[in-house]
Structure 1
């Protein structure tokens, strides 16, 4: 059988493994000839959480355990294999990848180093936080790359609010407040700030009576560009500014961060911002391991250089998709943007392209279709532009309608992975959870 290995179980990688497993996996073939391909997914985590939801995990408005999907279970249901562990090496001549040892919570070795051979390799390792060399940023900031980081931020935020409530209760004259600084006004930073204001209001209702959710919890965004959401349209940015100001979120645009010390953000203009919690969401880059993989060509941000077939320029047997791939976008000054919709489109494309590759047919050409952008601004609001330029102009949406559209993006992801029946059941269970549990995870 043709051996397909997919490294990285993010939105694109898991969708591709599921599609190929459904088509070729022996677990779903009840009769007929043996499958043409063996599909294997590798990831260093045991579970999948859709990354665009991490800001909701960080704010406490979503319980990550209710949204996790077990890779092993997905593999069993959809006919592919799953191996847990980090990618550590690539042997292009021998057409094999090395998976590092899997360690338990006590740091004991659960699984040793393993080597798997492939005929086709697909790399989709996503992205990590880029600190751009800012002194003290990595040491003194919290990133939101993983579920563990998001949970850590939520716990520290609730602890900070609880301590402030206690101080205010004991010493009325000391109006201690909580200050949260978010570095970077991209989608993650903007969405997190709006969710945090909603969380503050819920915490006030659930026992923190002395802590005013607006006056005593300072939330501010610090952005080097002249406006927030700099990669999106000015109209979208202006609408987001208005909604954030209604939530009393302070915006500091045109302020490049020069250094971050313990509890203090220093800007190039000489300003200093004290903060109990500092979140870094100012940019992303590809994982460092990609630059170490047996001569694969990468760009200045560590992304693997691929052509319009998503095949690497270095090796005809290796493909890449998602945030870790530098894919050309014809007639545009930049490449395909690192968005969830791009990873979804590329997974769908590769599921078809790899079938043609196994038949010895030429690979088709991938073209990115910009379907627009949506930015969540809390439980009942969002802003965005839909359809991109497919019909000659963009359609601007905001408010509750935009929020429903934003929520539907995750629903469609669930439907792609598990089918529409499961997606409807997931919607029902989500409604029941919200009806019987606090709106914010309180511990």
Structure 2
């Protein structure tokens, strides 16, 4: 039997699930490529940033996973795809004092799953003065700053000011976890009435919080943000981020000891330089209904890197973990069956858990969504990451990881928005 070489670029939720699903299939030689050496469940970055959970239980070595699951792992930064030679190019290893050369990995099928990055929209000061939570290093750096601010606030009795721009998943999740983390710095945490150490402001450019979300879900989130004493400002079109303030076109400004920029995802800049692929206005590679690039049927794209517009839809699917996971499952089947049907996304709903302020969500059943609250919504959310852990680690190891996560002493109330 001839061996088919499949190279997957990017070990995020979709890329790693695909590699794990394909690795043991006969006739396939699977290689996963990633810039860093460990996988992290990215929807939890906000928890790591706030310090309500450590990353040690959710960070898994790609090298270990490769040995466990049966694929090959190559660590390195992707610089391009040579479609004529069917080779992926990787930058030389960045080792101080050591000379390296470009690496090339041959493929029969290439899957681009390099993910996305938070857009700055060219607004002055975002790159220089705002934090964007795109990787574990970003979360670690923010957490150090946040801890220093809260220590100072406790000493001076002057609240620290944190401004979050963007009321989607990142902004909403982070706001609630920061409010939860604040309690660790209270002098008497067991006492309910404590002076605030943290002033939280959430800014949204749209006229409403969570633009595009169902009205019932949005209303539930707004109520709970109010319970958490988060100041929410809509129709705030930001024009500049300064070292100590955020300014809007209206002339308003908000004091900021630290600003978090969470205003939506675009494709990684490298996607536009990989080759001659069609790129949409958000920097993502355009694909057809089978997740194939429009210029080469041997190059597929999934997750945040892909721009897929379903038939009859006005715009491409949004960049979410739910979509990336479904695309990975689809490719796991279709790469072995060239006569596969087109990809169809099945929306399983959106879930928002705002710490002590409760959990709400919309769960898709058949053609309808229904509103859920309380313990059912919380359990439904947890199922998302549990499914990912089982797919990546297998049933036995996945169950062990889930148990370790549940009993972790650093675990705080969950705060998640998945769509």
- The TM-score, its normalising length taken from structure 2, stands at 0.93
* Contact kept? 1:191, 1:378, Cα under 8 Å: no
3-state SS of paired residue (1:154): helix
Asked whether 1:433 is paired with 2:408, we answer: yes
Equivalent-residue separation in structure 2 for 1:392 and 1:376 (angstroms): 24
* Contact kept? 2:57, 2:401, Cα under 8 Å: no
1:70-91 C-alpha deviation (Å, 9 max, x unpaired): 1111111111100000001211
Equivalent-residue separation in structure 2 for 1:242 and 1:260 (angstroms): 28
Equivalent-residue separation in structure 2 for 1:353 and 1:438 (angstroms): 38
* Contact kept? 2:126, 2:241, Cα under 8 Å: yes
3-state SS of paired residue (1:195): helix
Point out where structure 1 has 5 or more consecutive residues left out of the alignment: 24-34, 169-175
| Among 89, 95, 115, the residue aligned to 1:98 | 89
* Contact kept? 2:119, 2:264, Cα under 8 Å: yes
Following superposition of structure 1 onto structure 2, how do residues 87-166 of structure 1 map, counting pairs within 5 Å? 87-104=78-95, 107-109=96-98, 112-166=101-155
* Contact kept? 1:200, 1:213, Cα under 8 Å: no
Equivalent-residue separation in structure 2 for 1:205 and 1:111 (angstroms): 53
Equivalent-residue separation in structure 2 for 1:303 and 1:213 (angstroms): 47
Asked whether 1:62 is paired with 2:53, we answer: yes
Judged with a 3 Å threshold, the aligned counterparts in structure 2 of structure 1 residues 385 and 67 are, in CA distance, closer, same or farther, namely same
Asked whether 1:12 is paired with 2:1, we answer: no
* Contact kept? 1:379, 1:403, Cα under 8 Å: no
Equivalent-residue separation in structure 1 for 2:411 and 2:215 (angstroms): 36
3-state SS of paired residue (2:377): helix
Q: CA RMSD in A?
A: 2.1
* Contact kept? 1:162, 1:208, Cα under 8 Å: no
Equivalent-residue separation in structure 2 for 1:18 and 1:58 (angstroms): 28
How far apart are residue 376 of structure 1 and its match? 2.5
* Contact kept? 1:127, 1:285, Cα under 8 Å: yes
Find the counterpart in structure 1 of residue 228 from structure 2. 247
Equivalent-residue separation in structure 2 for 1:343 and 1:185 (angstroms): 21
Judged with a 3 Å threshold, the aligned counterparts in structure 2 of structure 1 residues 123 and 167 are, in CA distance, closer, same or farther, namely same
* Contact kept? 2:14, 2:325, Cα under 8 Å: yes
Point out where structure 2 has 5 or more consecutive residues left out of the alignment: 414-419
Equivalent-residue separation in structure 2 for 1:278 and 1:392 (angstroms): 40
Matched length? 411
Find the counterpart in structure 2 of residue 189 from structure 1. 171
3-state SS of paired residue (1:356): coil
Equivalent-residue separation in structure 1 for 2:403 and 2:197 (angstroms): 36
Find the counterpart in structure 1 of residue 416 from structure 2. none
Equivalent-residue separation in structure 2 for 1:93 and 1:142 (angstroms): 40
Equivalent-residue separation in structure 2 for 1:283 and 1:108 (angstroms): 38
Find the counterpart in structure 1 of residue 295 from structure 2. 314
Judged with a 3 Å threshold, the aligned counterparts in structure 2 of structure 1 residues 241 and 439 are, in CA distance, closer, same or farther, namely closer
1:176-203 C-alpha deviation (Å, 9 max, x unpaired): 1101000000111011101111110122
Equivalent-residue separation in structure 2 for 1:81 and 1:206 (angstroms): 51
Equivalent-residue separation in structure 1 for 2:99 and 2:329 (angstroms): 34
Judged with a 3 Å threshold, the aligned counterparts in structure 2 of structure 1 residues 213 and 62 are, in CA distance, closer, same or farther, namely farther
How far apart are residue 217 of structure 1 and its match? 1.1
3-state SS of paired residue (2:134): coil
How far apart are residue 277 of structure 1 and its match? 1.1
